[in-house]
Amino acid sequence: MTPATRRSATASIAACAAVLACACVLGCASWAPLAAATGASGETQTYEPESMQAYESQLAAGEIEAVRFNPKLRSVRVTLEDGKRVLVHYQPHQEHKLAKALRAKKIEPLTIHGKRVGENAHPPGHKLRYIVGGAIVVVLILVIAGLVFVLRRRRALSDF
């Protein structure tokens, strides 16, 4: 038999460093167009605070171009047709009422994460938990069945 040949530690480290350098270069190059497309160029968007009455008058006049809801802060980021950005805070449990008024004006309200505002905006919960729980139960059953099989076989062999 021939003994197994081993690479030197220096060669292994050099190969790993070369692979990591290539991954970093490719990773940075592929993220740059994505950052530019999403507007992550360093400039921040500022929103001027506004009252609910002013928001409603702008909605009635048809001056609103786009709307983004932030349900945690109960605020609405409004982009007007003239390019001005305003921030409106609403009372608790008013999100659906505001979204309904926007849809009546043919404006699709979205959350800050890009999801639709509405009754079915939240995904059904616990589905993944049930899948993982079922997988754990199946694995436990297989382990127990294997142990029972091995122990019975050992017991049968030791009887002779």
Nearest Cα to 41, choosing from 50, 32, 49? 32
How far, in Å, CA of 159 to CA of 157, rounded?
6
Stretch 60-88: mean pLDDT: 92
Distances from the Cα of 35 to the Cα of 31, 39, 43, 55, angstroms: 6, 6, 12, 32
User: What CATH code is assigned to 48-111?
Assistant: 3.30.720.210
pLDDT band at 71 (very low <50, low <70, confident <90, very high): confident
pLDDT score recorded for residue 116: 75
What is the distance between the terminal CA atoms of the chain, rounded to a whole angstrom? Answer: 39
Q: Quick: pLDDT tens for 18-46.
A: 555 655 555 555 555 544 545 555 567 88
Selected residue with higher pLDDT from 122 and 148: 148
pLDDT tens digits, one per residue of 83-108: 999 999 999 988 889 988 998 999 88
Ranges assigned E (strand) in the chain: 48-50, 64-70, 75-80, 85-89, 110-111
Among candidate residues 109, 77, 71, the one with its CA nearest the CA of residue 91? 71
The first and second tokens of residue 151, run together, are 């122990």
